[in-house]
């Protein structure tokens, strides 16, 4: 038994050593325990069993194509209401940016925006030319853009940047696309169209906390867990790999977090057993209250962040990777977490509009490769550049390729 004062229980250690799944009660006890050293040791044991001392990062660019959203989630400071009477297509509506504008500056002036496909492609092209392997694309649920906007976006990126991995659209966006498609398409058809247009995988967003009470309190108008899992099951059946997030530190309890993680573990069990793809990683997202309707809440402390990352590792041993997204946990804590179960600190990011803490209120939020590697080395780990599917990237001064793939990409590194 773990006590609030003492060590996590011996039976938890035995279970982990024997490869047995931890229960809801075990998870809650881990949260209650003050012994973060033992928690770290247990999580690190699982991490080392899976990955040794390797810790990965990637060279990516986040693109948030619009902040207009039909939802009003209380934890979100990103969405903007869509102006009444707007025409609904970038360029036509006048809400898009001109290509010459610095998107970082224009996107953080609190106004609503939607990017044209040309603007998105220009950003992807720039990143690809500088050696990025991934574009991570998400946005609000735009009330007026047609589904062809999203397939055209993928097609245009694929044409311009043949080997960049397009990780795009959370499960919530996929459901929105199905609802707006004309004629109406199923989730499977939406995913197939996007896949044919060049989509590589799905990010894990929109999961929040799988619990009806939390759902009703913090994101009532968003679809619930059944729909989120339907998208990920369908993706896995089609052979599309996905990630899974958990947004913690708002109105949920520790038990509700643990139940969320157990649901991910159970889903993964089924995907590993019967589907063509599965979750690659769990991404616990630390709630950033500033600017949201829940800004009166303090948000998670550093200790809570560290415990949540470690407990995610322990609750979901069948999901290969645990990612500390440094934008939310901060680079300092992401670094510490590399010895508390985490093996991935995500990437260079460059621009991020959903939360703006690391950018001091702006969307410009970047860690250079040198900084990412230094954080990893200082933590006593071996830095490994990965692609979006966790395959090692082999890079020299101006080419990169993915282990096992017959192609390579030539690029010009940006000046330091």
User: Which is closer to ligand V47, CB of 114 or CB of 208?
Assistant: 208
End-to-end, the C-alpha distance of the chain in Å comes to 52
Q: Measuring CA to CA, which residue among 189, 247, 188 is closest to residue 214?
A: 247
Report DSSP state, residue 403: T
Which of 44, 93, 116, 243 touches ligand V47 by CB under 6 A? Answer: 243
State how far the Cα of 327 lies from the Cα of 138, in Å rounded to an integer.
Answer: 15
Q: Is the link from the previous residue into 183 a cis peptide, with omega within 30 of 0?
A: yes
Cβ-closest position to ligand V47: 205
137 binds ligand V47 (CB under 6 A): no
Compute the least distance from the CB of residue 258 to ligand V47, in Å.
Answer: 18
- 183-201 burial: b if 16+ Cβ within 10 Å, else e: eebebbebbbbbbebbbbb
Helix (H) or strand (E) holding 301: none
Phi and psi based region of residue 206 (left: phi greater than 0; alpha: psi -120 to 50; beta: remaining): left
Q: Which stretch binds ligand V47 (CB under 6 A): 191-199, 231-239, 271-279, 323-331?
A: 323-331
240 binds ligand V47 (CB under 6 A): no
Q: Which stretch binds ligand V47 (CB under 6 A): 19-27, 45-53, 321-329, 391-399?
A: 321-329
Helix (H) or strand (E) holding 280: strand 279-286
Q: Measuring CA to CA, which residue among 232, 239, 259, 237 is closest to residue 248?
A: 259
State how far the Cα of 152 lies from the Cα of 161, in Å rounded to an integer.
Answer: 14
User: Which is closer to ligand V47, CB of 206 or CB of 341?
Assistant: 206
User: Which is closer to ligand V47, CB of 22 or CB of 285?
Assistant: 285
Q: Measuring CA to CA, which residue among 207, 376, 381 is closest to residue 284?
A: 207
Residues in the chain: 416
Compute the least distance from the CB of residue 412 to ligand V47, in Å.
Answer: 27
Give the per-residue contact string, 359-388, with ligand V47 (x = CB under 6 A; - = no): ------------------------------
324 binds ligand V47 (CB under 6 A): no
77 binds ligand V47 (CB under 6 A): yes
Q: Which stretch binds ligand V47 (CB under 6 A): 47-55, 72-80, 94-102, 112-120?
A: 72-80
Q: How many CB atoms lie within 10 A of CB 352?
A: 25
Q: Which stretch binds ligand V47 (CB under 6 A): 73-81, 155-163, 314-322, 373-381?
A: 73-81
State how far the Cα of 177 lies from the Cα of 206, in Å rounded to an integer.
Answer: 14
State how far the Cα of 364 lies from the Cα of 347, in Å rounded to an integer.
Answer: 14
Q: Which stretch binds ligand V47 (CB under 6 A): 96-104, 239-247, 260-268, 379-387?
A: 239-247
Give the per-residue contact string, 247-286, with ligand V47 (x = CB under 6 A; - = no): x-----------------------------------x-x-
166 binds ligand V47 (CB under 6 A): no
Give the footprint of ligand V47 on residues 191-210 (CB under 6 A): 203-206, 208
Which of 57, 75, 150, 210 touches ligand V47 by CB under 6 A? Answer: 75
State how far the Cα of 250 lies from the Cα of 167, in Å rounded to an integer.
Answer: 27
User: Which is closer to ligand V47, CB of 76 or CB of 190?
Assistant: 76
Q: Phi first, then psi: what are they for 64, rounded to 5°? A: -105, 105
Q: Beta partners for 61? A: 135
CA distances (Å), 137 to each of 75, 109, 369, in order?
20, 20, 20
User: Which is closer to ligand V47, CB of 12 or CB of 349?
Assistant: 349
Which of 76, 161, 334, 369 touches ligand V47 by CB under 6 A? Answer: 76
Which of 149, 177, 287, 340 touches ligand V47 by CB under 6 A? Answer: 287
Residues near ligand V47, by CB under 6 A: 75-77, 138, 170, 203-206, 208, 243, 245, 247, 283, 285, 287-288, 292, 323, 325, 328, 346, 354-355
């Amino acid at each position: 038994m773990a006590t609030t004062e003492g060590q996590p229980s011996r039976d938890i250690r035995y279970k982990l050593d024997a490869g047995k799944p931890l229960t809801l009660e075990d998870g809650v006890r881990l949260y209650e325990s003050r012994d973060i050293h033992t928690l770290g040791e247990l999580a690190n044991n699982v991490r080392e069993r899976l990955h040794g001392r390797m810790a990965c990062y990637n060279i990516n660019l986040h693109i948030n194509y619009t902040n207009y959203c039909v939802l009003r989630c209380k934890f979100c400071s990103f969405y903007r209401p869509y102006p009444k009477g707007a025409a609904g297509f970038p360029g036509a509506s006048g809400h898009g940016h001109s290509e010459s504008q610095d998107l970082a500056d224009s996107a953080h002036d609190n106004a609503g925006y939607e990017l044209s496909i040309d603007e998105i492609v220009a950003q992807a092209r720039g990143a690809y030319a500088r050696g990025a392997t991934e574009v991570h694309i998400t946005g609000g649920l735009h009330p007026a853009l047609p589904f062809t906007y999203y397939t055209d976006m993928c097609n245009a990126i694929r044409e311009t940047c043949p080997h960049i991995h397009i990780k795009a659209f959370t499960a919530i966006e996929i459901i929105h696309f199905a609802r707006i498609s004309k004629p109406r398409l199923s989730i499977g058809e939406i995913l197939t169209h996007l896949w044919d247009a060049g989509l590589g995988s799905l990010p894990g967003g929109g999961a929040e906390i799988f619990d009806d009470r939390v759902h009703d309190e913090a994101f009532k108008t968003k679809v619930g867990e059944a729909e989120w899992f339907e998208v990920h099951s369908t993706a896995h059946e089609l052979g599309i790999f996905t990630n899974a997030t958990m947004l913690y530190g708002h109105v949920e309890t520790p038990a509700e977090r643990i139940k969320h993680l157990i649901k991910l573990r159970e889903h993964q069990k089924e995907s590993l057993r019967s589907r063509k793809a599965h979750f690659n990683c769990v991404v616990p997202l630390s709630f950033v209250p500033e600017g949201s309707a829940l800004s009166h809440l303090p948000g998670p402390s550093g200790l809570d962040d560290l415990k949540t990352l470690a407990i995610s590792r322990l609750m979901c041993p069948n999901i290969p990777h645990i990612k500390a997204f440094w934008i939310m946990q901060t680079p300092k804590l992401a670094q510490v977490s590399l010895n508390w179960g985490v093996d991935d600190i995500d990437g260079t990011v460059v621009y991020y509009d959903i939360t703006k803490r690391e950018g001091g209120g702006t969307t410009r939020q970047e860690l250079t490769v040198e900084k990412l590697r230094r954080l990893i080395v200082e933590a006593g780990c071996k830095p490994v550049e990965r692609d979006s599917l966790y395959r090692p990237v082999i890079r020299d001064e101006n080419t990169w390729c993915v282990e096992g793939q017959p192609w390579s990409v030539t690029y010009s590194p940006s000046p330091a």
